[in-house]
Structure 1
Amino acid sequence: MSIKVDIRVPVGRPLPELATFIRSCEDAGFHGVGVNDHHHSGRDVYAVLALATAATERLTLFPATSNPVTRHPLVLAATANSLAEIGPGRAMLTLAPGFLSVEKAGKPQARRQQLAEAVTAIRNLLAGRPATVDGAELRMNNTTATPPKVFVLAAGPKMLELAGEHADGVMMLVGLHPDSIAAAREHLRAGERRAGRAPGSVEEIFIVPTAIESFETAREWPRRFYRPGKQFLCYPSASNLRWLRAAGLDIPEDHDPAAISPELAAEVCEAFGLFGPPEYCADRLLRAQQESGVEHVFFFPSHTAESAYDLPQADVEAFHKIIGPRLAE
């Protein structure tokens, strides 16, 4: 398959069931699975990933996404290292300032400087090097021969630059429009330049919102709220609107979703992700590859706060039957 495709799986079922479902993602042909790190769910993502790693053979598995506020960098490094012992070469770590996990813990999001320090420290610890966090020198024993890569989740320009400067890779939520991708890459390259890295040295994974269903229902998503007071197009970040503006679609942050016309909603869906039948979604991905060199994506099934923990069974089935085979042609 020329395009690697990962998918988000929420902690919406008991852990043994999640491990079985993740195995079905492997059987469907996905490259990787990211599981949300939501402590308030009562289910720990790293326990899920350990079970899933033991139940699968080739999937790349990672949290989507951890943060350095509710988990200390040394703890994150040790956990990722442990997953790498269970599944050598299949573990990955993704980090962000935190959204629901820190909100539910009553904590503020990580500052960018704090996140940058954590990313650098974790990469050093996984490589067997000493690291510094909050002025304290840290070391970690028993590192693996192939340390997990550390990715930063980035939706805005400053986070893209942070990823370019400090991380092994970036999971970027910027849409699929070629002008949006080009604008986002400018910031990624700026970070790479600050660190003296070659352009393109940071790996890219594009977070792609999905609604794999009829056009009629899929194109209603931009006209919804994620939860009261937060529009779907501003979830998880209002930076989504910045990349839509780069694509020529100017939607104000305080917009009323119901006021978005069906015609504008269709344009938004075309620029923002995969919103339509499976055949269309496959062709849209291939076009993004041709237009912008998109080689690796992360399916982020569209949801509201109420449906956030539903397993993406329809997406897995559509990928297995139609999207995956079309990408492999």
Structure 2
Amino acid sequence: MTGLQVDIRVPVGRPLPELAEFATEVEAAGLDGIGVPDHHHTGRDAYLVLAAMAQRTERLSLYPATSNVVTRHPLVSAALTNSLDELAPGRAMITVAPGFLSVEKAGEPKARRARLGEVVLALRGLLGEGAATFDGHDLELFHRPESGSRVVVLASGPKLLELAGEVADGVMMLVGLDPRSVEAARRHVRIGAERAGRDPSSIEEILIVPFGLGDADTVRAWPRGWFRPGQPWLRYPSASNLTWLKEAGIEVPDGPPEDLDDELADRICTAYGLFGTAEQCADRLIRAHDELGMSRVFLFPAHTWATTYDLPRAEVDAFGRTIAPALRAAGLSIHRP
């Protein structure tokens, strides 16, 4: 039985010293990594947050989750990642996507897939060999670590999954936990890798796992709710979520999400992520590991626009008290308590 690395989203909702202190609590709870949203409009820079966390922790993987490729030039992003790797050797990576909130707040359109691919290749060159060509210019990056930092694409739709297979070192996938959904997503990654003449097994896979604690009525409110006006929670960050639910045999009807009945809401929660009591979430995570053979997950605490910058204190506490001990008992923890 293989180990399971479990990371968690920590937003930039508090001052940097408090975020760095919270990282020590995340590490003490037995989690393995932190991904910080790269949201410029908060007035707090994700890479400075990660640097502060690096100074206070010893083993956590640290990375932006996720940086866009519109508001930062790839040379700038590579230098930031390289600097983080100097503070936390072997613990840093960069994850990128076309953009969502930061791009929206900057008044810019999301990057096209082709542009994302160009940036990923430039980042891999800079963080690997120290050189890349981008927009006709030769770029160099000095003082890089010998091992280099990985470049991971966050993807939820089939075409982005294929792009990740073509150009990235890894892929973060928001596709649920149903074996049918995950296999369909993996197939798209393989298509992209094979199209580029790459070995699909060389591409690291990280499953993004929505995580909602509570009793049945509380967790059913998530698929029935709204992320923000005009955007149902099930369509955040994109409507691709419905594609993977359909692969799991779940058709989400048109109409207000609050009309979903109890049975359908329960099926969605089971297929989509970890929902329920801490004990139920631990059991679901272990079952998903056994069914999918996954080695790394990124816990994505359920939230709305109103709560998007709240620290996941309840989730970290539940992990430390209940989920981590269950993983250890199942032989899945990758480190000693």
Match of 2:256 in 1: 256
Q: What secondary structure sits across from 1:222 in the alignment?
A: coil
Q: Which residue pairs with 2:203 in the alignment?
A: 202
Secondary structure of 1:279's aligned partner? helix
Look up the SS of the partner of 1:48 in the other structure.
Answer: helix
Q: CA deviation at 1:2?
A: 2.2
Percent identity over the alignment is 58
Residue aligning to 2:46: 45
Matched, 1:108 2:109: yes
In the TM superposition, 1:27-176 aligns within 5 A as: 27-176=28-177
Give the superposition deviation at 1:250: 1.0
Contact kept in structure 2, 1:73 and 1:122, CA below 8 Å: yes
Residue 130 of structure 1, CA deviation = 2.1
Equivalent AA in structure 1 for residue 120 of structure 2: V
| Residue of structure 2 equivalent to 1:296 | 296
> Are the counterparts in 2 of residues 222 and 265 from structure 1 also a CA contact under 8 Å?
yes
Say yes or no: does 1:14 pair with 2:19: no
The structure 1 segments of at least 4 consecutive aligned residues displaced by more than 2 Å after TM superposition are none
TM-score by length of 2: 0.96
**Which runs of 5 or more residues in structure 1 are unaligned?**
none
Equivalent-residue separation in structure 2 for 1:163 and 1:255 (angstroms): 33
- CA distance in 2 between counterparts of 1:3 and 1:277 reads 20
| C-alpha contact (below 8 Å) 1:91/1:148 kept by paired residues | yes
CA drift of 1:128 comes to: 2.7
Residues 304-323 of structure 1: pairs in structure 2 closer than 5 A: 304-323=304-323
Q: Give the deviation of 1:129 after TM superposition.
A: 3.7
Q: What residue number does 1:284 align with?
A: 284
Give the TM-score normalised by structure 1: 0.98
Matching residue's letter, 1:280: Q
What's the offset of the Cα at 1:290? 1.3
Alpha-carbon distance between aligned partners in 1 of 2:130 and 2:148, rounded to the nearest angstrom: 12
> Structure 2: which 5+ residue stretches go unaligned?
330-337
> 2:333 is matched with which residue?
none
What is the CA–CA distance in structure 1 between the aligned matches of 2:269 and 2:12, rounded to whole Å? 27
2:328 maps to: 328
Per the alignment, residue 4 of structure 1 pairs with 5
The CA distance in 1 between the partners of 2:200 and 2:4, in whole Å, is 21
Partner of 1:212: 213
State how far apart, in whole Å, the 1-side matches of 2:124 and 2:200 are.
Answer: 20
Distance 2:316 2:190 in 1: 34
- 1:150 aligned counterpart, secondary structure: strand
Query: Deviation string for 1:79-122 (max 9, x for gaps)?
Result: 00000111110001000000000000000001111110111100
AA of the residue aligned to 1:289: H
Partner residue, 2:273: 273
Q: Compute the displacement of 1:218 (Å).
A: 1.1
Hey, what's the Cα distance between the residues in 1 that align with 2:252 and 2:133?
42
| Letter paired with 1:104 | K
Following the alignment from structure 1 to structure 2, what is the Cα–Cα distance between the partners of residues 255 and 72?
41
Q: What number of residue pairs does the alignment pair up?
A: 328
